[in-house]
Structure 1
Amino acid sequence: MAEALRRRVWTARLSWTALALSVGAVAAALIAALGTREGAWHFSDGFLILRWAFYAAVAGGLLAIAAWLMARRAAGSLAAVNLAALIIALLFAGYVASLAIAARSVPPIHDVTTNLESVPRFFRLALREDNFDVVPAQGDPRLMRMAPVERWRMLHARAYGDLRTAEVPWNVEETVRRAEALARDRGWEIASADPRGVVEATDTSTFFGFKDDVVIRVTPNPAGGSFVDMRSVSRVGVSDLGVNADRIRNFLEDLRQG
């Protein structure tokens, strides 16, 4: 009887500790994001908190499994605590792990465009001063011998060869109008919309509040309609986790569909 009671006490402690770690991990991640968004700390500190939150979630999940193995016949409420801890831990850790996988699957760049030969320029929004200061060579001897801008072009071409100038059936002014409306529908902050062929806007991420600047360049197509090029640049960080490329793909696809 005493042994069973002792096991039950330890199981309860493990279960509630597991739940506290899992819930605490999510809370820490939210605090990390909010603090970064509000400027309370540097985004790198926010990512550090997120990393430790991931470790806490993994620990919570493992403790929940251990508690379940220690007392498979625990009362329903205790079993529910273990299940809740495990589900929260799996969902959160899985999400953070997906970010890490995304970071490894894309090049460490944060400036993406549809046109490497004639990159769209920003006129109203200022391009970050350190835009090409850090372009990792990833241990590639060929890249190491290149200037940062050329290294960026090479990495970009390898990863985002599918991003190309879009063709639409409308004239420049109508295309600008549609592009501006689409950007507003996405919640982007419009910096300028020149009917002669340029739209500039800023997209802010939901949680961390990262700001990415976008320029849309529209030029007349001699065969009719217009050509549309885009550029999306993250204001901070080295890698954008593929966000800028996805933004361009999705925007141009929706623009083509009218």
Structure 2
Amino acid sequence: MVNDQEVPHETADATVSPAPAQPAVLPSAKKDFAGYLVLIAGVGALAWGLVSAVGTGWGFWAYTSGLKGLTWAFFLGIGAILIGLLQGWRARRAITPPPRTRRWAGMLAALIYVGWVGTFLFKALTVPAIHDVSTDLADPPAFQTLQLRADNLDNVPGADDEEMRGLTPQQRWAVVHQKNYGDIRSVRINEPVPMVVAKAERLAKARDWDVAIALPEEGRLEATETSAFFQFKDDVVLRVRPSDTGEGSIVDMRSVSRVGASDLGMNAKRVRSFLADLTGTVSAAR
């Protein structure tokens, strides 16, 4: 008879397998919240800005709303860049830094947008806040087919300037214009009036301007140029008169933006470029 002490234990020789070790979760493997934030903010700023510009051009909202969208998107882009820089500084001090791909992609998108808008801001600081440019300040060419904006002289700078105190908006405009665009003047072309207007019409159409009217015998051309993104429209009038001696023509040109207080120098650039092509000279780059 076998007693209980002699019964072998079946588990005596059994080998107990240890539980599999759980892999350690490194900090770098955790979700990169800051990286996602920079990526979303950077790409969002770029998308917001483009939608604001294109939507304005398509007429979905007023241009003032589009400009506000550009401004807020600009600040969002600045925020993405600052957060990305801060995260990069923290990553340099961390033992296991987080992934850099999302952060770099977000910062790059933000930098592209901020740089693009920054060029316009820089231009706004270097040109006068006017939107009407003419070769003749005493007698600017008048629009007859196209309509000059009703508020053309409402926001002419210099109202609080002691040197221009007492001047009318028209006079202030002439002073600011002469100071900043003194090189823009009437030009003389040794061709009869009809030939000059006909050539101007060809140049306008080659630039994809919408020619409203061209009257070679009267020496007048009016056209409109539309910008790419915002679809801003600037109206142009060309006045061509025979010279005092009867030999050749005197050409005056005026370019006016339909909206906005400042044209960022675009009207002056347009006048210089167009007259340079019309006369066959080299336009001064400004």
Shift of 1:8: 5.2
Q: Which amino acid aligns with 1:238?
A: A
Whether the 8 Å CA contact 1:25–1:53 is kept in 2: the answer is yes
Count of aligned pairs between the two proteins: 254
In 2: Cα distance, 1:65 partner to 1:156 partner: 43
* RMSD over aligned Cα atoms: 2.3
Partner of 2:56: 36
Partner of 1:251: 274
In 1: Cα distance, 2:97 partner to 2:250 partner: 66
Partner of 1:98: 119
In 2: Cα distance, 1:138 partner to 1:83 partner: 47
SS in 1 for 2:26: helix
Q: Which amino acid aligns with 2:46?
A: V
Asked if residue 59 in structure 1 is aligned to residue 82 in structure 2, the reply is no
In 2: Cα distance, 1:97 partner to 1:116 partner: 32
**Structure 2 gap ranges (5+):** 1-22, 282-286
Partner of 2:248: 225
Partner of 1:201: 223
In 2: Cα distance, 1:245 partner to 1:4 partner: 62
Partner of 1:129: 150
Asked if residue 241 in structure 1 is aligned to residue 264 in structure 2, the reply is yes
Among 232, 235, 257, the residue aligned to 1:210: 232
Query: CA 1:8–1:157 in 2, change beyond 3 Å: closer, same or farther?
Result: farther
In 2: Cα distance, 1:13 partner to 1:228 partner: 63
Query: CA 1:70–1:195 in 2, change beyond 3 Å: closer, same or farther?
Result: same
* Segments of 4+ moved more than 6 angstroms: none
In 2: Cα distance, 1:8 partner to 1:59 partner: 25
Q: Which moved more, 1:181-190 or 1:80-89?
A: 80-89
SS in 2 for 1:71: helix
- Pairing 1:132-171 to 2, within 5 Å after superposition: 132-137=153-158, 139-171=160-192
Whether the 8 Å CA contact 2:223–2:237 is kept in 1: the answer is yes
In 2: Cα distance, 1:214 partner to 1:4 partner: 67
Whether the 8 Å CA contact 1:119–1:231 is kept in 2: the answer is yes
Shift of 1:68: 3.0
Partner of 2:5: none
Aligned-pair identity (%): 41
In 1: Cα distance, 2:48 partner to 2:215 partner: 43
In 1: Cα distance, 2:274 partner to 2:25 partner: 61
